[in-house]
Amino acid sequence: MRVCLLLMAAFFATASMRINLSMGITCMVNSTAFASEELKSFYKNESIDHSNDVCKPIVNEKVAKQDGYEGTLLWSPSRQSLLFSASFYGGLVTMAFAGYLADKYGPKLILLAAALDCVVFTMMGPFLADRSYWSFFASRAFMGIGIGCIQPCINSMAALWFPASEKSTVAALYTTGNQLAASLTSFFVAELCLSSFGWPSIFYIFGGVGLLWALVWWIFVSNAPKDNRWMGEAEKKFLEHENSTRKNKDMFRQNSLPFRHLFCNSTMQSIYCCQFAFSLCATIVQSFLPTYFKEHLYLPIHLNGLYNIVPFIAQIISKNIMAVISDYLKKRDLVDANVLVKFFQGFGSFGVSITLILLATLPSCENPFVALYLLAAYGFFFAGAIPGFFTALMSVAPPYAGTISSFSTIYATLASLAGPIIISVIDALDWPNKWMTIFGFCSIVQLFAGFFFVLCGEAKVQSWAKPKDSIDLTAAAC
């Protein structure tokens, strides 16, 4: 349990250093400098009384100050959108081999170095942002070098420490760090924006949290249970037996990577496709939801922070319940593991797809509360991914869990790059119905991923990934 909580804390610490920009940027930049001239002239017209308007766009300094958006940085909307992709460019450098190195040499020190990289460049953020846009962009890219190692290393650690029968529950627990980061970060960043410390404190405080986690991780964690000085011998032997740790490590070292299966196998491709779809939605929601509330619903910053919590709290509650149910059914052989991952993934993908369409069409600045119900539903459905494709990712080939996570993270990063780039282009072109276009595209991607996984997804260990003396490397390949 200690290791699981530290993995959750790892996700929280590193994700919060990345996500803090999504809310932070709303109070870092000048909100009126790039408002449309049409809106500015409309609200300058003294012959029109705007005192009773329900929807009040941020078009002058008075409204900006009233709503808590008092930033000074002159960054255009398209540049702001592009900034969210910076860390993912850095991630491209390390993600392809981070999981391989974690599987071969152990994930502990690699994860530690990755977190410290995030800490350093997060704390440098305020200084560089005041210097220039591109220096701040570069710092986020360098931070991405560490971000690219996080998930492959955590999944590699989980494969070494936790039995297969508990993987859904454990995955739900440690990935809760992501949702805690997304929800609590938005709330605290909104408060820090309104405080006398100002937006620079955002980067110093969350960098400090990452530094504290790194210290605890260094002291209490080892690469495998057998090397941990804080555990009893009985517990070590149990985990070694349950996880076949030595067999998996020997297989990894003695056999070359089965690249054909890892890339061309239909089961693997369905997992990667779901990773792309859910990472695309996660990036849009984590990075741009505060901007959606600010631009589309015209929420002041204190309500922006509160609204932003809703989908992530819903995810935390629902995914832990779903994961426990899934593992309970597996342990008692009541439902086949393959059927369970297909059911939960279909539930998640199709539910998210429908919710995104509703989110694009129903809420408005006149009835923003509708977004609360839809965001709660979005979080509830999104949680199906944990007992769905994410459980399959960790289960289908335990000896290569870190390597598979690296490949999966490549798809996740491509999705995370695509989201900000698409929004940046839409902003640059002044595209009409901006949020309908964005949410509609994500909905279509989710539908495709859901159908693909229901047809081809599996959770049982693949024949080519079993620790045998002789493995048929032709079965189920391209």
Domain ranges of the chain: 2-32+63-465
pLDDT at 116: 96
pLDDT at 107: 87
pLDDT at 375: 92
- Residue 40 CB contacts under 8 Å (≥ 6 apart), including other chains: 59, 60
CA distance 381 to 296: 23
Torsion over CA: 285, 290, 296, 302 (sign):
positive
Going residue by residue through the chain, which has 478 residues, state the pLDDT in tens, using 9 for 90 and above: 678 889 999 999 999 998 888 888 878 887 665 554 444 444 444 444 444 455 655 544 554 554 455 667 888 877 887 888 888 888 888 877 887 788 788 888 999 999 999 999 999 999 999 999 999 999 999 999 998 888 888 888 887 777 766 767 787 788 888 888 888 887 888 888 878 888 899 999 999 999 999 999 998 888 777 766 766 666 666 566 555 544 555 544 555 677 788 878 888 899 999 999 999 998 888 878 888 887 788 888 778 778 888 888 898 899 889 988 988 888 888 888 899 999 999 999 999 999 999 998 898 878 888 999 999 999 999 999 989 998 888 788 877 777 787 788 889 888 988 888 888 888 888 778 888 999 999 999 999 999 999 999 888 877 776 765 544 433 443 3
CA distance 112 to 122: 15
| Contact by Cβ (8 Å): 455, 349 | no
Closest CA to 22 of 386, 405, 416, 464: 416
Q: Classify 467 as helix, strand or coil.
A: coil
pLDDT at 57: 55
pLDDT at 347: 95
CA distance 73 to 82: 15
Structure tokens belonging to residue 124: 């440098």
Per DSSP (E only), the strands in 329-440 are none
Structure tokens belonging to residue 318: 């629902």
Closest CA to 239 of 227, 250, 221: 227
| Contact by Cβ (8 Å): 84, 21 | yes
Long-range pairs of 244-252 with CB within 8 A, sequence gap ≥ 24: 244/398, 244/467, 245/160, 247/467, 248/159, 248/160, 248/398, 248/399, 248/467, 249/399, 250/467, 251/399, 251/467, 252/103, 252/104, 252/399, 252/400
Q: Classify 36 as helix, strand or coil.
A: coil
CATH class of 2-32+63-465: mainly alpha
- Residue 315 CB contacts under 8 Å (≥ 6 apart), including other chains: 179, 379, 380, 382, 383
Query: Helix 86-105 and helix 108-123: axis angle, to 10°?
Result: 160
pLDDT at 43: 44
pLDDT at 40: 45
Task: Give the distance, in angstroms, between the CA of residue 222 and the centroid of all CA atoms in the same chain.
Answer: 25
Q: Show the CA angle centred on residue 375, arms to residues 374 and 381, nearest 5°.
A: 90
